[in-house]
Amino acid sequence: MKYYITTPIYYVNDSPHIGHAYTTIAADVLARWRRLCGHEVFFLTGTDEHGAKICQAAEKATKSPKEFCDIICGQFQAAWKALNITNDYFVRTTDEYHIVAVQKVMQKLFENGAISKGKYEGLYCVHCEKFLAGGDLVDGCCPDHKQKPTPHSEENYFFKLPMYQEKLLAILSDENHPQHIRILPKERRNEILGKLKLGLEDISISRANLPWGVPLPFDKTQTAYVWVDALINYISAIGYGEESPKFKKLWPADAHLMAKDILWFHAIIWPAMLMAAELPLPKKVFAHGFFTINGDKMSKTLGNVISPAQMVEKYGVDGARYLMLSLFPFGSDGNISWEGLNEKFNTDLANNLGNLVSRTLTMIEKYFGGKIPKPTTPFCALNPHKTIIIEDFNNYLDNLQFHLAFDAIQRHINNANQYIETSAPWKMAKENNPELATVLWNLISMIKTSAICLLPVMPQTCNKIWQMVGETHDIEKESNAFFTQGILASPVPGTEIKKANPLFPRILAAQ
């Protein structure tokens, strides 16, 4: 029941922005949910610290490359701590164990005849750290950075990618293939297969005269191409190269998460490298879309970056985490605005979830002395839905459909709020209707189910809700007990509730 999930490692030429946070929060939600389901989870993230771009950024900052990397790496680690990310390990490509692993992979590829020396001439984008074909350009410029690539020629080592074309086609297209890699969403898979069928060319996997990198073990005048170096982090971090039991236990990865602009590296180059190194292939690769502002990808180069700290300052940690994953489908691009974020915050969190918890606890305090009542009938009207909701939520998360998962829970919460309106507990109290106890017991059950499902994305809030409804045990530490022992959302009559301040105060338009 192991579950190994990764983010890409983030390039340290830039401080963390919400594009980085988007991927990392998604991975954290999946990791937390899998832990709740009883899986043994290993969640990896980290920083990519080699390459020409780092040298340039360090020089501009009047720092050595390592000093510069240490500073920016610290910013990423601080950002993930502030966002309550529960990664099990943080890999850095400047760490010695990673360098050893890179050299072992490169030596293996060389010995297996997958590498040869040659000369490459082409257009090179320094910001992307990659060569671009003519068809990749828009008006002669890199589509992401809006700058013209420069002609570049050098002698280096090439990976014989065409050797693996037919194997890749079979592995990616045949769902029954024993090494099948599931690429999501489907439209990205179709794009990859379409491009793959056009044919592959040898690709450069080393650079000459670039000291800030990992030297090739068979030619010290060359360093590993930064993208090759970076991809190997997924195995170096779990002990490849050290004969580690952890590597044998965790590899292959269950899910690689990344933005769509680096899907080719993960869906084609990385599997081909693994085949050449005689290693198992990852099970799932998911490429999400971009946050856009005015139709442009968010990037430091374009000067339109929003930081995670800005989101947290305005919406709180849990609010920021929820908004990033609920606004639009994870696999699609989405244009964001502060107005749209405010509206989503007020609708889903302040009006729906926060209001449900506040109204329910207030009525229990008023009508039952602050203790959960015992239902008067054995059948509770809303209770049968909890199993269906958990199953739907789990299925949506398995396909990384975060917006659908959260929409399902919001409908569940909305149903509970509508249940209050239709049952009118205040009228039942005036009439001394014994069914009032059943109604409020049902509402607590609905709240507990919502808290379990939303806990991976809003852990602080849901643990607070858990305490408010009188629970004393730790949801996350007790893991799948909630699923296997049937205590998921069954309130215990007589449990004392604890009222608190509103969970999510509404954001005014002027804010």
pLDDT in tens, the chain (511 residues): 899 999 999 999 878 888 899 999 999 999 999 998 889 999 999 999 999 889 988 999 999 999 999 999 999 999 999 999 999 999 999 999 999 999 999 999 999 999 999 887 778 777 776 777 767 788 888 887 778 888 877 789 999 999 999 999 999 999 999 999 999 999 999 999 999 999 999 999 999 888 899 999 999 999 999 999 999 999 999 999 877 899 999 999 999 999 999 999 999 999 999 999 999 999 999 999 987 776 666 666 666 677 788 889 999 999 999 999 998 899 888 888 888 899 999 999 999 999 999 999 999 999 999 999 999 875 455 554 566 678 888 899 999 999 999 999 999 999 999 999 999 999 999 999 999 999 999 999 899 989 989 999 999 999 999 999 998 877 776 655 455 445 556 788 999 999 888 899 999 865 5
* Phi, psi dihedrals of residue 250, rounded to the nearest 5°: -95, -35
Please, which residues bridge with residue 262 across strands?
none
For residue 325, the number of C-alpha atoms closer than 13 Å in the C-beta half-sphere is: 28
pLDDT for res 484: 45
CA distance to 377, 379, 383, 422, 452, per residue, from 439 (Å): 10, 11, 11, 11, 20
Asked whether 28 and 89 are in contact (CB, 8 A), the reply is: no
pLDDT for res 380: 52
* Phi, psi dihedrals of residue 125, rounded to the nearest 5°: -95, 115
Q: What is the dihedral of CA 120, 123, 128, 129, to 10 degrees?
A: 30
* Phi, psi dihedrals of residue 391, rounded to the nearest 5°: -65, -45
Q: What is the CATH number of domain 338-484?
A: 1.10.730.10
pLDDT for res 284: 97
Q: Tell which residue, 407, 385, 391, has the closest CA to residue 489.
A: 385
Please, which residues bridge with residue 292 across strands?
297, 335
Indicate which residues carry an active-site annotation: 17, 20, 125, 128, 142, 145, 297, 300
Helix, strand and coil content of the chain, in percent to the nearest 5, comes to: 50, 15, 35
CA dist 163 and 180 (Å) reads 18
pLDDT for res 378: 58
pTM to 2 decimal places: 0.91
For tokens 């779990």, name the residue.
238
Q: Which residues in 161-243 belong to E strands, given as ranges?
A: 182-184, 203-204, 206-208, 215-216, 219-224
Q: Measured on CA atoms in the order 171, 176, 179, 180, is the torsion positive or negative?
A: positive
CA 123 to chain centroid, in Å, comes to 32
pLDDT for res 93: 97
Asked whether 288 and 366 are in contact (CB, 8 A), the reply is: no
Please, which residues bridge with residue 121 across strands?
153
* Cβ count within 10 A of residue 184: 19
Paired sense of beta strands 40-48 and 291-293, if any: unpaired
Could you tell me the two tokens for 339? Answer: 């107005």
CA dist 448 and 470 (Å) reads 11
Which residues, 6+ apart, have CB-to-CB distance to 255 below 8 Å? 3, 4, 5, 6, 27, 30, 282, 283, 284, 285, 286
